[in-house]
Amino acid sequence: MLRLRPYKISDAKYMINWIKDEKTFAKWCANLIPYPLTEEVLHEYRNKYEDDTEKFLFTAINEIGTPLGHFLMKMVDNEERVHLCFVIVDSSKRNKGYGKEMLKLAITYAFKILKVSKVTLSVFDNNPIAYNCYKALGFIEEPGKEKEFLYKDEAWNTYYMSLSAK
């Protein structure tokens, strides 16, 4: 069972071990965070959003308080929609349902606490595990919003996905 709590500086020492290579890193943050991931980089990341009233950093923790996942939630469209960014689960814990469980909590928070009508996110076409996780949670692709991301000599397509409140 997972719980969500606000991101803490102490979470950085866990997160730096969740991504093992530069390509996986790019899939996670689209190079919006400097590589390689270090505790100092994550402290700067946290400080960037600390006073932003429309962006929230979350950590998913297990029963004993160990961080297993992370995401950024940002309010958009005059607070009618939340966009999830930087969604990640500890690489040693993937394919065990933690990502889905964490996102269910995020969705519940968005709809029930923040009272938004839609949750959105983006995912690269070369990340089928994440894409299928989002589809299983009810996210649908929004056609016409795709964009290209250049990583070294590769071009990745980005799917924009959404989930509306019921």
Instruction: Indicate whether 149 belongs to any domain.
Output: no
Instruction: Indicate whether 159 belongs to any domain.
Output: no
Instruction: Indicate whether 143 belongs to any domain.
Output: no
Residue 34 belongs to domain spanning:
3-121
User: 132-155, pLDDT tens digit by residue?
Assistant: 999 999 999 998 777 899 999 999
The CA–CA distances, whole Å, from 66 to 8, 58, 81, 90 equal 12, 13, 29, 11
User: 81-136, pLDDT tens digit by residue?
Assistant: 999 999 999 999 999 999 999 999 999 999 999 999 999 999 999 999 999 999 99
Instruction: Indicate whether 97 belongs to any domain.
Output: yes
Q: How many CB atoms within 10 Å of residue 98?
A: 17
Its pTM stands at 0.95
Q: What percent of the chain has pLDDT over 90?
A: 95
Count of the separate structural domains present in the chain = 1
Q: Give the burial string for 139-151 (b: 16+ CB within 10 Å, else e).
A: beeeeeeeeebee
* Cα torsion 122, 124, 130, 132: sign: positive
